[in-house]
């Protein structure tokens, strides 16, 4: 466990705001990702071959060639194994996207957006990555006005495929999925201060009842359960990945009453924060 009070945050080079490249197990960014961390930006990765074993917020995933994913800011993740995996990546700040692409991304990314591509879809994404990589030489260093539309097209296409997979697998309306994703994104940004469903319903301009019904249909969870789940996820991240005190973690999560936070955590996880830290520290060792 790192000897600090926060989780490692990887930041963008703000002189560029977009970083695109080809990766394999020897790429510096992949080596850095072998340690738990989070980003202050979005990252898209296309796995071309091999297999990548990753943990996203305690969810263990194995992704084979032909998988495309988008990781949002703030999510803790770690690469466990590469198994000969290779592919492309692009990291970016959302202001480089068109307004339409920004809105699509905001509505789509609650957690990791994971898409299994067909052969033709994989070829399309590969072509976009290759085009972005060739721009610096093609345009002698002046290429942002072309790079941003290509990035926006990639993001828009990813959200189209992601929504299509959700609708096909769950028989849900686009509007229901959109409301659910908007809610989950709002929760991720505001869970430290907003703890009541009514506060989120107001931001979404819908009734609490409509929000609750929609979330139940799409996720199987109530608004309160999703809010508490996000709080517990962040509490577990901080307990596992940092050495912040229980009181510091309580304050970071918006609970000035540490005793209340301890009772809530114990009720939801089945053990106290200090017990949780001891148990998972032993597993890590």
- Higher per-residue confidence, 46 vs 270: 46
Q: Which residues pair with 62 in a beta bridge?
A: 53
Domain CATH number, residue 152: 2.60.120.280
- Higher per-residue confidence, 49 vs 168: 49
pLDDT reported for residue 3: 45
Lookup result for tokens 């539309």: 149
- The tens digit of pLDDT for each residue in 120-167 reads 999 999 999 999 999 988 887 677 789 999 999 999 999 889 888 776
Pick from 19-23, 59-63, 96-100: least confident? 59-63
Domain count along the chain: 2
Q: How far apart are CA 239 and CA 281, in angstroms?
A: 9
16: pLDDT confidence band, cut at 50, 70 and 90? low
Residues 132 and 198 in one domain: no
In a domain, 4, yes or no: no
Residue that terminates a domain, selected from 105, 135, 170 = 170
CB 6 within 8 A of CB 252: no
Residues 26 and 144 in one domain: yes
Q: How far apart are CA 128 and CA 267, in angstroms?
A: 48
Q: Which residues pair with 61 in a beta bridge?
A: 54
Q: Which of 94, 103, 96, 104 is nearest to 74 (CA)?
A: 94
- Higher per-residue confidence, 44 vs 220: 44
pLDDT reported for residue 44: 93
Residues 126 and 206 in one domain: no
| Helix (H/G/I), strand (E/B), else coil: 77 | strand
In a domain, 42, yes or no: yes
Residues 256 and 201 in one domain: yes
Tell whether pTM > 0.85. Answer: no
Distance linking the first and last C-alpha atoms of the chain? 9
- The tens digit of pLDDT for each residue in 77-127 reads 889 998 999 999 999 988 899 988 888 887 776 668 889 999 999 999 999
Domain containing 276 equals: 174-284
Share above pLDDT 90 across residues of the chain, in percent, rounded to a whole number:
46
Residue that terminates a domain, selected from 115, 143, 170 = 170
In a domain, 1, yes or no: no
Q: Which residues pair with 48 in a beta bridge?
A: none
pLDDT reported for residue 285: 47
Share above pLDDT 70 across residues of the chain, in percent, rounded to a whole number:
91
């Amino acid at each position: 466990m790192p000897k600090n009070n926060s989780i490692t945050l990887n930041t963008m080079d703000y002189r560029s705001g977009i970083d695109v490249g080809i990766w394999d197990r020897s790429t510096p960014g992949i080596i850095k990702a072998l340690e738990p961390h989070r980003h202050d930006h979005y990252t898209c990765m296309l796995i071309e071959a091999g297999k990548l074993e990753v943990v996203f917020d305690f969810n263990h995933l194995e992704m084979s060639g032909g998988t495309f994913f988008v990781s949002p800011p703030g999510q803790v993740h770690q690469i466990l194994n590469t198994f000969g995996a290779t592919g492309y990546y692009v990291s970016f700040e959302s202001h480089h996207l068109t307004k339409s692409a920004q809105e699509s991304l905001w509505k789509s990314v609650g957690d990791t957006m994971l898409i299994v591509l067909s052969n033709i879809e994989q070829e399309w994404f590969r072509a976009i990555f290759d085009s972005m990589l060739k721009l610096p030489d093609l345009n002698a260093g002046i290429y942002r006005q072309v790079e941003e539309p290509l990035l926006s097209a990639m993001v828009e296409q990813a959200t189209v495929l992601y929504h299509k997979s959700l609708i096909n697998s769950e028989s849900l309306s686009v509007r229901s999925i959109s409301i659910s994703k908007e809610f989950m994104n709002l929760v991720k940004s505001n869970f430290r201060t907003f703890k009541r469903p009514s506060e989120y319903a107001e931001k979404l301009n819908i009734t609490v009842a409509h929000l609750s019904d929609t979330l139940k249909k799409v996720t199987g969870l109530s608004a309160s359960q999703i809010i508490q789940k996000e709080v517990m996820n962040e509490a577990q991240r901080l307990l596992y990945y940092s050495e912040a005190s229980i009181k510091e973690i309580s304050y970071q999560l918006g609970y000035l009453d540490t005793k209340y936070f301890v009772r809530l955590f114990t009720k939801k996880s089945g053990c106290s924060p200090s017990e949780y830290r001891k148990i998972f520290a032993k597993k890590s060792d």
